[in-house]
């Protein structure tokens, strides 16, 4: 699964410049959401497998309204869409609304949000002449999540219910076949590819140039020419992973700049050798130009 552009932006900036408290809060929410969706995908892979086609982070637009679906499970005779919430703690369902009991705050109903998404998706299906029923469920993936006073007829699935729920889906619907794959190809033609970038005031010169531990921001050092180590938490990271993360961070923050060995070397304060950049760029990216004009293009995000 690939993180959103906004998520990657904030991660790349977190240790390179001071972020406002609301930006750090948003990053924390994005990270929890991403981890929840990854966890849900593991359940689906285990209990659905190749019985259906699974799609994640599908964004589409209808009549100018852009909606994002956390996950699809596509069978031959049904499409199941999911909103995955990685909430923790105690919540209350009362009069059709969700409340966080700790802060006594009412939160946006994920059921209402998903219902509206399903309406728009049905509208899209009708326009492209697809006649497959759509069902929708909210999945609460958090291990420490509890929802009180929720009626049984709500389209919600708790983490502990997922194995049984997914098995029942697999046994209820016809498994994916060639027609399903054709449907998926058609659906992908309507995927909304443009991602929203955050408007944050930064420049190349204003950012700190170094390598940082993703966990605590410690400046990484090369050990025995085999791995990088964080001096704060002692976490070890392979050279390849560090190099690829540096490339991803540079590309995310400065998509308008050419991806060159010189630009990357300076971006990380000379802490990664040009040899390692050259080796990994040649292996993972497309080379363009010749001589001093050599640079590389990113066809897909590596994570």
The mean pLDDT value for 217-240 works out to: 94
Distance between CA atoms of residues 15 and 211, nearest Å: 9
DSSP string computed for 158-226: EGGGHHHHHHHHHHHSPPP-HHHHHHHHHHHTT---PPPPP-----TTTS--S-B-TTT-PBPEEETTT
Task: State the pLDDT confidence band at 74, using cuts at 50, 70 and 90.
Answer: very high
Q: Is the pLDDT of residue 298 over 90?
A: no
pLDDT (0 to 100) of residue 88:
94
- Rounded mean pLDDT of the chain? 93
The mean pLDDT value for 66-88 works out to: 95
pLDDT (0 to 100) of residue 56:
92
- 301 versus 255: the higher-pLDDT residue is 255
CB 126 within 8 A of CB 72: no
Task: State the pLDDT confidence band at 276, using cuts at 50, 70 and 90.
Answer: very high
Helical (H) or strand (E) element with 65: strand 65-74
Half-sphere exposure for 253 (CA within 13 Å, toward CB): 26
pLDDT tens, residue by residue, 158-214: 999 999 999 999 999 999 999 999 999 999 888 887 677 899 999 999 999 999 999
pLDDT (0 to 100) of residue 218:
96
pLDDT (0 to 100) of residue 190:
87
Distance between CA atoms of residues 287 and 267, nearest Å: 20
CB 137 within 8 A of CB 155: yes
The mean pLDDT value for 261-269 works out to: 96
Q: Is the pLDDT of residue 50 over 60?
A: yes
pLDDT tens, residue by residue, 88-116: 999 999 999 999 998 788 999 999 999 99
Q: Is the pLDDT of residue 301 over 70?
A: no
């Amino acid at each position: 699964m690939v993180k959103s552009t906004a998520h990657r932006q904030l991660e790349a900036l977190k240790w390179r410049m001071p972020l406002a408290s609301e930006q750090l809060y948003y990053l924390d929410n994005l990270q929890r959401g991403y981890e929840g969706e990854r966890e849900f995908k593991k359940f689906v892979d285990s209990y659905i497998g190749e019985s259906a086609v699974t799609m994640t982070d599908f964004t589409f637009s209808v009549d100018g309204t852009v909606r994002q679906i956390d996950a699809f499970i596509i069978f031959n005779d049904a499409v199941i869409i999911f909103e995955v919430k990685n909430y923790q703690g105690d919540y209350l369902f009362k009069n059709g609304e969700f409340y966080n009991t700790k802060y006594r705050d009412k939160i946006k109903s994920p059921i209402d949000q998903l219902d509206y998404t399903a309406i728009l998706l049905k509208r899209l299906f009708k326009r492209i002449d697809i006649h497959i029923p759509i069902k929708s469920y909210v999945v609460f993936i958090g291990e420490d999540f509890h929802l009180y006073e929720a009626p049984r007829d709500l389209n919600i699935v708790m983490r502990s219910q997922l194995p049984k729920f997914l098995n029942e889906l697999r046994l209820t619907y016809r498994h994916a076949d060639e027609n399903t794959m054709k449907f998926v190809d058609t659906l992908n033609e309507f995927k909304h590819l443009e991602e929203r970038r955050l408007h944050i005031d930064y420049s190349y010169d204003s950012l700190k140039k170094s390598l940082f531990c993703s966990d605590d921001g410690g400046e990484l050092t090369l050990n025995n020419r085999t791995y990088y180590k964080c001096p704060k938490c002692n976490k070890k990271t392979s050279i390849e992973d560090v190099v690829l993360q540096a490339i991803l961070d540079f590309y995310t923050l400065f998509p308008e700049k050419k991806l060159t060995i010189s630009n990357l070397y300076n971006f990380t304060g000379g802490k990664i050798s040009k040899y390692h950049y050259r080796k990994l760029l040649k292996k993972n990216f497309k080379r363009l130009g010749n001589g001093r004009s050599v640079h590389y293009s990113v066809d897909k995000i590596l994570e």
